[in-house]
């Protein structure tokens, strides 16, 4: 009787270990794809629409415009929305913004930031950071940060580093 019980325990342990192993293999996380290469581009909201032109506390604004490569060629379009959640001075406001860049090949890159936006052309250039929030295509699941340089009102150079 002792041998039969011991054999059953061993068989049960082996079956449990096999099941755990099978579940572990089936439930294993897929290998992560390599991060995309660093990316630089310029967004020019002055070439299209931004409404309203003079946002106020509690209000918002939206814009769209072309995305340009280093040679000035259009490589996509961007759409953004911002909510003004603070006033820093007569020409500066805090804004919570999301920007969606849709490249000509259809891939999308999503960025988000809480930044000070300056309406005084004498204070340019200035910089702020943005968070990479994924996207589609090559940017699906992408993470990282972008350094955004406001070159002049409505024109932003964006340097993205993926992690």
Tell me what the pLDDT averaged over the chain comes to.
82
Structure pTM?
0.76
* pLDDT the model gives residue 57: 80
Domain 39-162 has CATH 2.70.98.60: no
Cβ–Cβ < 8 Å for 66, 44: yes
* pLDDT the model gives residue 71: 96
d(CA 142, CA 19): 34
Domain boundaries, the chain: 1-31, 39-162
Specify the higher pLDDT residue, 16 or 83: 83
The full DSSP string for 114-148 is EEEEE--GGG-SEEEEEEEEEESGGGTT-EEEEEE
Percent of the chain with pLDDT over 90: 55
């Amino acid at each position: 009787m002792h041998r039969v019980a011991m054999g059953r325990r061993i068989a049960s342990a082996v079956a449990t270990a096999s099941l755990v192993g099978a579940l572990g293999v089936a439930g294993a996380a897929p290998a992560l794809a390599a991060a995309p290469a660093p990316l630089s581009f310029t967004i020019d909201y002055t070439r299209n629409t931004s409404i309203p032109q003079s946002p106020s506390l509690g209000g918002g604004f939206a814009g769209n415009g072309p995305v340009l490569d280093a040679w000035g060629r259009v490589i996509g379009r961007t759409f953004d929305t911002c909510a003004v959640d603070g006033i820093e001075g007569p020409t500066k406001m805090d804004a919570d913004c999301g920007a969606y860049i849709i490249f000509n090949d259809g891939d999308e890159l999503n960025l988000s930031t809480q930044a000070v936006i300056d309406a005084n052309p004498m204070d340019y250039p200035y910089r702020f950071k943005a968070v990479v929030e994924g996207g589609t295509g090559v940017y699906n699941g992408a993470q990282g940060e972008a350094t955004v340089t406001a070159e002049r009102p409505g024109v932003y150079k964006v340097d993205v580093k993926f992690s």
